[in-house]
Amino acid sequence: MDYEFSADLWEQACAVVDEVLDIILSELKTQAQKMSENLEIDVRFIRQASARQGLKIVAPDEFDAIVPFKLKGLDLKEVRLKDTDGKVLPGQMRMSVQNPSAKSVLTERFPRLLTLGVFQMDQGTWLINTKLLQEKVFKSLMDKTLSITEDSLKRKGYNVTRGSRPPTMNIKIFSNLQFPIDVDFVPGLYLKDEAVMIPDSVTTHPRSIRMNFPRFGLMKWISKENPRMREQDKDVIWRNCSSSYERYMFDMCLNNRERLYIVTACRIMKAVVKTLRKRQNHAANLLTSYHLKTIAMYCIELLTVPTVAPPGFHLGGVREALGYFLKFLKLVFDKETLPEFFLGNEYLGKIFPDSYFADEHKKYNLFAKENPRQVEAAKYGFGGIEAILEGCYTYASLNESVIRCFENRVLRM
């Protein structure tokens, strides 16, 4: 399995993405201002996921980014979302307009969006309709933008086509590189910046450091029938985005040898999954890049944060890191459960003390949105993963208390 690519190829791909997005987002900002001068798009997109975290494999052909935007002049409040049984849905919320005389403010500042139905009344409160904001506003703006920028992009040697996977805006870039580049960028409503003091036990510095984490709301809505969701809530759902915290989880690996063992193990696992999908392996068919990243983050937390790991514990190398990764993965398949790292994680406060996500106590199983039969079948493909990695991992020296902690505490829903 050859999963490496050159630094030069990486730089070339980044240059292509940066130039194309600069052109597109500049025009998107202009079109947004024409629709509403108070809809402000930040052209300084935030690269995220594997393209940002050093986890990319095979080729730099996929990039993910958040495009921050603001609704200027609105006093917005995050309202926890509950199901029909009154239970809080982890990580999900509604956004309500708190301005006095809200209707007048919306009429004055966002007349076009109000006409399109982006703001809707529910029990005396104005809410943002995420489905209409995506489909009537951002999709429309993107269509106009790509039409306007098509010629200028072609003059620079780029052919750009558009896809749609709401709430993601997807483009495919054809350039002088030997492969097309897929770029998914998601509009993110800027909520606030959160200053967190990262403990010296976590950082690679000799003291604690204060880090700034912007938090965004991502548009989400229910497209399928969900009996546990109030009908009037299905089009007003936002998801609290943890991407800035996720980026830091991998940034703090850069100057730490033991954490880099885990990053390498994760990249190897991504290559294995990519290979086994071609053989219709049940485990590989289920696992996504985010599933693997989530397990990697649990490894970083349980194995390399001194206030969480066993006293005096040290990770011996990549083979050992792969051993823990595989042990965790086997338990995930057996229990058919993989909790979202940033929701209900009892150890998160050891890394991000007093932060928004450290205060989230309700867990969410990432497999809840997958096909149940596919989740159940995944355990039968685990042997194929072990077989392809034979000689690359070891179970001999693993600390059983770490594995028991993952099984009995992390995977306990």
Please state, rounded to an integer, the average pLDDT across all residues of the chain.
91
Query: 183: buried, middle or exposed (CB in 10 Å: 19+, 13-18, 0-12)?
Result: buried
Q: What is the pLDDT of residue 50?
A: 52
- Nearest Cα neighbor of 149 from 27, 17, 16 is 27
pTM of the predicted model, to two decimals? 0.92
C-alpha–C-alpha distance, residues 115 and 106, integer Å: 10
Q: In 3-state terms, what secondary structure has residue 286?
A: helix
What does each C-alpha distance from 243 to 46, 168, 335, 357, 404 come to in angstroms? 9, 15, 26, 11, 28
- Nearest Cα neighbor of 144 from 32, 21, 20 is 32
Mean of pLDDT values over 14-22: 91
Query: 139: buried, middle or exposed (CB in 10 Å: 19+, 13-18, 0-12)?
Result: middle
Q: Which helix (H) or strand (E) holds 63?
A: strand 62-71
How sure is the predictor about 289, in pLDDT bands with cuts at 50, 70 and 90? very high
Q: Which helix (H) or strand (E) holds 48?
A: strand 46-48
Side chain identity, residue 248: Y
Residue 125: pLDDT above 50? yes
C-alpha–C-alpha distance, residues 322 and 130, integer Å: 40
C-alpha–C-alpha distance, residues 117 and 131, integer Å: 10
List the Cα angle 12/18/23 in 5-degree steps: 130
The pLDDT tens digits for 339-381 are 999 999 999 999 999 999 999 999 999 998 899 999 999 999 9
Q: Which two tokens stand for residue 361?
A: 């106590």
Side chain identity, residue 10: W
Q: What is the pLDDT of residue 227?
A: 63
The pLDDT tens digits for 198-224 are 999 898 778 899 999 999 999 987 655
How sure is the predictor about 1, in pLDDT bands with cuts at 50, 70 and 90? low
C-alpha–C-alpha distance, residues 139 and 11, integer Å: 30
DSSP state of 156: T
Write out the DSSP string of 68-113: EEEETT--EEEEEEE-TTS-EEEEEEEEEE--TTHHHHHHHH-HHH
Is the bond into 214 cis (omega within 30 degrees of 0)? no
DSSP state of 50: H
The pLDDT tens digits for 72-120 are 999 999 998 888 888 888 889 999 999 999 999 999 999 999 999 999 9
C-alpha–C-alpha distance, residues 221 and 86, integer Å: 19
Beta bridge pairs of residue 238: 93, 219
Spatial contact of 17 and 183, defined as CB atoms under 8 Å apart: yes
How sure is the predictor about 49, in pLDDT bands with cuts at 50, 70 and 90? very low
Mean of pLDDT values over 289-299: 96
Phi, psi dihedrals of residue 96, rounded to the nearest 5°: -110, 145
Spatial contact of 91 and 365, defined as CB atoms under 8 Å apart: no
Count CA within 13 A, CB hemisphere, residue 311. Answer: 0
Q: Which two tokens stand for residue 132?
A: 């209409």
